[in-house]
Amino acid sequence: MHRFALYTITGLSSLVVLYPGPVEGEFQTPHPAAPVYEFQNGRWFDGTRFTEVTFYVEYGTLVTHRPAQVDSVVDLAGGWVVPPYGEAHNHNVEDGPALPDLIHRYLEGGVFYVKNPNVLPRAVHALRGRVNLPESIDVSFAFGGFTGPGGHPISVVQRNVERGTWSDADGEGAFYYELADEGDLDRKWAGFLANRPDFVKAYLLYSEELEARAQNDAFVGWRGLDPNLLRELTRRAHAVGLPVSVHVETAHDFRTALEAGVDEINHLPGFRGNEENRFPDIESFHLEERDAVRAAEQGVVVVTTLGDFHLLGDEATAKRARGVFRHNLSLLRDHGVILAIGSDGYGSVGVDEAFQLLDLDVFSNLELLRAWAEDTPRAIFPFRRIGHLAPGYEASFLVLDRNPLDDFRATQEIRLRVKQGVILDGW
Ligand SMILES: [Zn+2]
């Protein structure tokens, strides 16, 4: 599925370039020779409850009318069928020896969709033919993220250069793009688009202290993009059909992202305290009702990403962090903000994040299942028919032994995995 958009390179005002659009879904065509299946005796999740219905799978798509020819009948024996889960924030899908095991762990956990917001372009180009296939996970990539001079994630690059695993060439123009002014955006935008990203990633860090942090070397790595540049970046991204995801640290960042018109916010404010891993002022992390109202009105997705801060450290601080998360999540939930689940944990496939959210006692099992199996996949691939089990949707689903609305742990008791009409085996 290709989408086409026209955009103009600023500074070359008469030149109009045909941009081929995001690569999302580009090589995800189901096998044309895949057998036609009939799935009997399943209880299928319709977004609210489980109902007994027979689904057929034809050309990788769910249908309810019986196709002229059925090659194989599968008895689901009363199993509970849900859409596969998503991991809306992880940097771990990249080229390397660990990739096969990582893909296996994702599929094992029922996590079929992954969003990688910031990754080295050279670590992704070798993934062609290994992800975004019916038998593998589907991944969307932002490539390098946009930040301010000396902003996050510059320290990640410095650390890897010191270790000898990366070179200086992996910094500016690869893992990140520093924008000091609009002229920088003019110069760098076309190079960014040349990677054919699925979405744009940008960083806000303590935007309420933009000036002070810009002038103080102590804050290298703890700075982000100028909010005015975020607004312009978002405008240009939307003009070529790319959604924008923004990293936030504080409630002010959250508000600033909403004002810029972004599509997705990554992290809950306070996910790692301040630069000293402390919570000196809880109020700077507390969202207000107007923030939740506006996020809901604008249809902005909030990717939870609790981090592990509330689990580690001293118990008093962890307790404060949990209090902040409960406050923010309850507010977002009560106002109907779309929530997606993403761990941002390199060793994780997102399953632990879902269970940490459960442990916070904010959500019902139904709310969490919807977030994980419906809203997260859609947040990762907003242009695909996924996250729902109905005619015309991709034939991707998990069959569980027990009802996950009774016990959320059942989400991990997976007896069958089907992706785009292909029965995955090996478990
Ligand atoms: Zn991240």
Cα(413) to ligand 1 centroid in Å equals 28
Distances (CA, A) of 363 to 98, 358, 413: 34, 7, 20
Cα(81) to ligand 1 centroid in Å equals 31
Q: What is the pTM of this model?
A: 0.91
Mean pLDDT over 236-261 rounds to 98
**Residue 14 pLDDT exceeds 50:** no
Residue 310: pLDDT band (50, 70, 90) is: low
Cα(392) to ligand 1 centroid in Å equals 33
Mean pLDDT over 303-331 rounds to 85
Cα(151) to ligand 1 centroid in Å equals 14
Q: In the chain, what percentage of residues exceed pLDDT 90?
A: 82
Cα(395) to ligand 1 centroid in Å equals 30
Q: In the chain, what percentage of residues exceed pLDDT 70?
A: 91
For residues 287-311, one letter each, b for 16 or more C-beta atoms within 10 angstroms of the residue's C-beta and e for the rest, the string is: beeebbebbbeeebbbbbbbbbbbe
Cα(175) to ligand 1 centroid in Å equals 12
Neighbouring residues of 232: CB distance < 8 A, sequence distance ≥ 6: 182, 185
The tens digit of pLDDT for each residue in 387-408 reads 999 999 999 999 999 999 999 9
What are 6's strand-pairing partners?
A: 18
Cα(92) to ligand 1 centroid in Å equals 10
pLDDT at residue number 319: 86
**Residue 311 pLDDT exceeds 70:** no
Cα(305) to ligand 1 centroid in Å equals 9
CB atoms near residue 33 (< 10 Å):
5
Cα(184) to ligand 1 centroid in Å equals 24
Cα(271) to ligand 1 centroid in Å equals 11
pLDDT at residue number 275: 81
Cα(176) to ligand 1 centroid in Å equals 13
Neighbouring residues of 54: CB distance < 8 A, sequence distance ≥ 6: 38, 39, 40, 42, 64
Cα(118) to ligand 1 centroid in Å equals 7
Cα(231) to ligand 1 centroid in Å equals 21
Cα(90) to ligand 1 centroid in Å equals 6
Task: Please report the domains of the chain, with CATH numbers, ordered by start residue.
Answer: 85-384 (3.20.20.140)
Cα(117) to ligand 1 centroid in Å equals 6
**Residue 373 pLDDT exceeds 60:** yes
pLDDT at residue number 273: 82
Tokens 């893992």 -> residue? 175
Cα(148) to ligand 1 centroid in Å equals 17
How much is the CA Rg of the chain, to the nearest whole Å? 22
pLDDT at residue number 31: 53
Cα(119) to ligand 1 centroid in Å equals 10
Concatenating the DSSP letter of every residue in 322-367 gives: HHHHHHHHHHHHHTT-EEE-----TT--SHHHHHHHHHTT-S-HHH
Cα(273) to ligand 1 centroid in Å equals 15
Cα(427) to ligand 1 centroid in Å equals 30
CB atoms near residue 126 (< 10 Å):
12
The tens digit of pLDDT for each residue in 171-208 reads 999 999 999 999 999 999 999 999 999 999 999 999 99
**Residue 282 pLDDT exceeds 80:** yes
Nearest to 156 by CA among 82, 242, 91: 91
Cα(53) to ligand 1 centroid in Å equals 40
pLDDT at residue number 29: 52
Mean pLDDT over 309-319 rounds to 75
**Residue 252 pLDDT exceeds 70:** yes
**Residue 7 pLDDT exceeds 80:** no
Cα(145) to ligand 1 centroid in Å equals 10
Cα(141) to ligand 1 centroid in Å equals 12
Cα(410) to ligand 1 centroid in Å equals 28
- The Cα diameter of the chain in Å comes to 70
Distances (CA, A) of 30 to 35, 61, 129, 135: 11, 9, 13, 10
Cα(36) to ligand 1 centroid in Å equals 40
Mean pLDDT over 360-366 rounds to 97
Residue 239: pLDDT band (50, 70, 90) is: very high
Q: What is the mean pLDDT of the chain?
A: 91
Cα(229) to ligand 1 centroid in Å equals 21
The tens digit of pLDDT for each residue in 127-140 reads 989 999 999 999 99
The tens digit of pLDDT for each residue in 20-63 reads 444 444 445 555 567 999 999 999 999 999 999 999 999 999 99
d(CA 345, CA 202): 19
Contact present, 171 and 157 (Cβ < 8 Å): yes
Cα(264) to ligand 1 centroid in Å equals 13
Nearest to 112 by CA among 395, 404, 306: 395
pLDDT at residue number 241: 97
Mean pLDDT over 354-365 rounds to 96
The tens digit of pLDDT for each residue in 72-124 reads 999 999 999 999 999 999 999 988 899 999 999 999 999 999 999 999 999 99
pLDDT at residue number 312: 66
Cα(171) to ligand 1 centroid in Å equals 16
Cα(306) to ligand 1 centroid in Å equals 11
Cα(421) to ligand 1 centroid in Å equals 31
**Residue 1 pLDDT exceeds 60:** no
Mean pLDDT over 159-177 rounds to 96
pLDDT at residue number 426: 65
Cα(204) to ligand 1 centroid in Å equals 12
**Residue 11 pLDDT exceeds 80:** no
Cα(89) to ligand 1 centroid in Å equals 6
Cα(340) to ligand 1 centroid in Å equals 14
